[in-house]
Structure 1
Amino acid sequence: MRDEPRTGDETTVLLAALQSHRDVMLWKLEGLSEEEQRRPLVPSGTNLLGLVKHLANAEYGWFCETFGRPTEPLTDISEDPEADMRAAPGETTQEVVDFYRRSWAATDASVRELGLDATGTSYAGATVSMRWVLVHMVEDTVRHAGHADILRELVDGGTGHHVPRG
């Protein structure tokens, strides 16, 4: 667990909260084989690596596409709305993790360069503020970190909701 700021400006506090749970998402992959990371353990097919890929796509979408900033090619969900929840055949854990880390850099730059009061247009056509998007992404990441807690426990009994200090 990172030492999150308990005081400070809104941007710093919100980005630190997001980063704390981004770190959890990657920690939940540690020590598992590729097969274990991809193993669907619930009827929906949700798996650890797919959650990470989904969050990478979500960060790029919300923080880049919404605000007209450059993004990497995102997973095409036009034919399959759940395609971003699975690693594609041949797509490695390292590729997904690297994609996620690059999305962090793009997100953080977008937030810092545009500011919380910037507005953009969501994929659904709604006008949204950067502040709303950042809070939404914290919520989404925390939600999926909870899913990852359960999936990791089902894979190997591993528990914990924060990266241990080391």
Structure 2
Amino acid sequence: MTAVADAEITALLRCLQVQRDHVLGTVEGLGEEALRRPVLPSGWSCLGMVQHLTLSVERLWFRAVVAGDPEVIDLVGSQDSAWQVASAVPAADVLDGYRYEASLADAVIAASSADADLVWWPFPESEEWRLHSLRDVLLHVITETACHAGHLDAVRELIDGRRWLVNT
């Protein structure tokens, strides 16, 4: 990568890390019951949202789409249940899994060029919407993570009144 691309990717990664920290900070201090309780009519829980971000965002976009990891690609079809966390899975495991998957994503990012073609595309039937490079993926993941952090903010406020910008 050139110095400009390095600086660009470093800046994008810094933005992504702020959003990751926002996700984890928003759910910090919630107990198991609150983390698992669906608050909105759609039925997802805070823990389900973190698991979705782990499997369907960090893992999918970086290890499958950018890096083409065949083991991860094979798991893509099983991610439909990413929003549902089994009762036997401790909340700490889901949160640690998010941190771990983010670290694996960071390794993919560090090993990739900003303009390199993506190795795999999960939506062949939807060619009108397609990302083309690590840069595109980073921008997409930053946007998706920020959007879901906002969802978590609203749910957290409904659970116990805590607001990210006020109570942190």
Query: 3-state DSSP class of the match of 1:40?
Result: coil
Q: State whether structure 2 residue 72 is matched by structure 1 residue 68.
A: no
> Secondary structure of the residue that 1:20 maps to in structure 2?
helix
Over 3 Å counting, the alpha-carbon distance change for 1:152 and 1:127 in structure 2 is closer
Give unmatched runs, 5+ long, in structure 1: 1-7
Structure 2 unpaired stretches of 5+: 1-5, 125-129
Mapped contact 2:131–2:137 kept (Cα < 8 A):
no
**1:163 and 1:131 mapped to 2: Cα distance?**
33
Aligned to 2:11: 13
Matches of 1:22 and 1:93 in 2, distance apart? 17
How big is the shift at 1:29?
1.7
| Aligned with residue 36 of structure 2, among 35, 38, 42 | 38
Q: Which has a greater percent of helix?
A: 2
Match of 1:155 among 131, 155, 159: 159
TM-score (norm 2): 0.82
| Equivalent position of 1:49 in the other structure | 47
Contact 2:26 2:164 survives alignment (8 Å)? no
Question: Which AA in structure 2 matches 1:150?
Answer: A
Task: Give 1:116 shift.
Answer: 1.1
Asked if residue 145 in structure 1 is aligned to residue 149 in structure 2, the reply is yes
Distance 2:166 2:58 in 1: 21
4+ residue runs over 6 A deviation = none
Identity of aligned residues (%): 36
Q: 1:94 to 1:47 in 2, by over 3 A?
A: same
Compute the displacement of 1:38 (Å).
1.0
Helix, strand or coil at the partner of 1:86: coil
Q: Distance in 2 between matches of 1:163 and 1:107?
A: 29
Change (3 A) 1:76 1:162: farther
Counting matched residue pairs gives: 153
1:5 paired residue number: none
- Choose the corresponding residue for 1:112, options 99, 110, 113: 110
